[in-house]
Homo-oligomer: A and B are copies of this chain.
Amino acid sequence: MSIHYPAGTKPKRVVTPKKEKKESPLKGRHILSAANRGQSFEDDINSTNEYYRNKDLAIIHKRPTPINIVSVDYSKGAMITKAYFETQSTTDYNGVYKGRYIDFEAKSTRSKTALPLGNIAAQQVEHLEKVLRHGGIAFFLIELARFSEFYLLPAEFVCRFYREKPRKSIPFSDIRTYGYVIKEGFSPRIDYLPVVDLVFLK
């Protein structure tokens, strides 16, 4: 027997919470994009980095989330019983590619118009400015989730924007102008190394 709903309404989907969501607090930090089939941007970048490592193209890892541990139960095999998440004082990703130091942050937004700078911590901007001063390659990987668009935006642009217009958002028009398109693929998902070649190593 099929059920008829009044026009304009749909049955609510029952969403079963994913088991790993509970185990990994990082999943919640990026809004899921329908475009990439329920996988988060961060998952895609992690799998891309794994692909790069397996193919021996680059050695880039995600830094673990820093955690402030308050109490540990050593009677249970060093089980942490009380702890809090801390803010990363650096970016989330770094490593080495073609002898160069690589450092980047990933941001996903479901906004229709602009990337809120509130997403980017002042200390991350400072960190990226230092990395640039020391000759590292620094950038943001940005997902415009509603448009299924992916960009590499050089840190120079973001840091300058941040200094000149704090508390503002970066309009998508700027991201599309000053950023470089990354083609979404199957494997790797977010193939950003060819863009790094083009932008930083030519």
Which residues of A are in contact with B by a Cβ distance under 8 Å? 22-25, 53, 56, 58-59, 61, 63-72, 77-85, 89-90, 94-103, 127, 130-131, 133-136
Contacts and interface: CB of A to CB of B under 8 A. Distances in A.
Given A84-B78, A135-B96, A136-B99, A22 B72 contact: yes
Given A63-B64, A78-B85, A69 B99 contact: no
B94 A94 contact: yes
Contacts of A81: 81-82
A62 B83 CA distance: 19
B83 A80 contact: yes
Contacts of A130: 53, 56, 59
A83 B77 CA distance: 11
Contacts of A99: 100-101, 134-136
A96 B136 contact: yes
Contact of A23 (B25, B56, B69): B69
19 contacts: A25-B72, A25-B78, A25-B80, A63-B63, A67-B83, A78-B85, A79-B82, A80-B83, A81-B82, A95-B101, A96-B101, A96-B131, A97-B134, A99-B100, A99-B101, A99-B134, A99-B136, A100-B101, A100-B135
